[in-house]
């Protein structure tokens, strides 16, 4: 089973970078949770170092990751420098990264640049959450929070950013992203139900059969 650890930077008493009342901790929590929700549609397990505006230390973040085995650790951030002086996206791996980290970080970086962000490149850094985690780890800086243009792009293309990052992650996992079909007003949609189970393991087994048969968009919904 594929398992990811998502880390949303800062939180609680640590707001991260701030500009004109905007907080990095809020931006990354909101967007990161949306990416997690999108990836989970494909049966990928996503654990999160925080799910609300609470303080989580760097040690607590790495300890959280170290308690389980993950395919990837992905830390979400927004950048800051001097007001209106820098812009663009950049992404990081730890020093001398492995092939998995290098591939994922480049795929995410390219996806965000394609949405219109300035390309500041992929870099290496001795950050705690990259150094002290076991899984292939990347850290993504999604534009500068102290740049009006980056904030405008971040807000206007929020759904596209979510989709781009989700697609990049799924691609590295060998999972094809399925473009959602727009609903036409007045159109009747027919859903195919293949069973309902009281035992979760039976539902998982049926889901596996459906996906092996080619129904890649099949998923489990609890009621």
Find, among 140, 141, 178, 142, the residue nearest to 157 by Cα. Answer: 142
Residue 214: the pLDDT is: 63
Find, among 124, 122, 117, 103, the residue nearest to 171 by Cα. Answer: 103
Distance CA 157, CA 14 (A): 26
Residue 151: the pLDDT is: 98
Residue 213: the pLDDT is: 64
Residue 199: the pLDDT is: 78
Residue 219: the pLDDT is: 75
Domain ranges across the chain = 3-172, 182-223
Decide: helix, strand or coil at residue 25.
Answer: helix
Residue 198: the pLDDT is: 75
CB 46 within 8 A of CB 71: no
Mean pLDDT by 10 residues, the chain (223 residues): 96 98 98 98 98 98 98 98 98 97 98 98 98 98 98 98 98 94 73 74 78 70 67
Residue 216: the pLDDT is: 64
Distance CA 91, CA 77 (A): 9
Residue 150: the pLDDT is: 98
Q: Decide the pairing of beta strands 136-144 and 89-93.
A: antiparallel
Q: Which fold has domain 3-172?
A: Aminopeptidase (3.40.630)
Find, among 10, 4, 41, the residue nearest to 28 by Cα. Answer: 10
Residue 205: the pLDDT is: 78
């Amino acid at each position: 089973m594929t398992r990811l650890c998502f880390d949303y930077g800062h939180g609680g008493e640590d707001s991260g970078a701030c500009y004109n009342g905007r907080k990095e901790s809020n931006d990354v929590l909101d967007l990161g949770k949306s990416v997690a929700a999108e990836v989970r549609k494909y049966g990928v397990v996503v654990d999160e170092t925080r799910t609300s505006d609470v303080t989580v230390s760097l040690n607590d973040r790495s300890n959280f990751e170290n308690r389980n085995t993950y395919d990837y650790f992905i830390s979400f951030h927004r950048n800051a420098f001097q007001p209106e002086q820098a812009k663009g996206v950049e992404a990081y791996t730890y020093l001398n990264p492995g092939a998995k980290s290098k591939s994922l970080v480049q795929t995410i970086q390219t996806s965000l640049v394609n949405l219109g962000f300035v390309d500041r490149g992929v870099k290496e850094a001795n950050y705690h959450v990259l150094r002290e985690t076991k899984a292939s780890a990347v850290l993504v800086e999604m534009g500068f929070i102290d740049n009006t243009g980056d904030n405008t792009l971040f807000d206007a293309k929020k759904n596209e950013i979510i989709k781009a990052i989700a697609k990049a992650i799924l691609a590295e996992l060998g999972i094809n992203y399925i473009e959602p079909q727009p609903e036409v007003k007045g159109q009747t949609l027919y859903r195919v139900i293949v069973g309902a189970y009281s035992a979760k393991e039976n539902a998982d087994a049926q889901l596996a059969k459906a996906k092996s048969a080619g129904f890649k968009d099949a998923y489990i919904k609890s009621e």
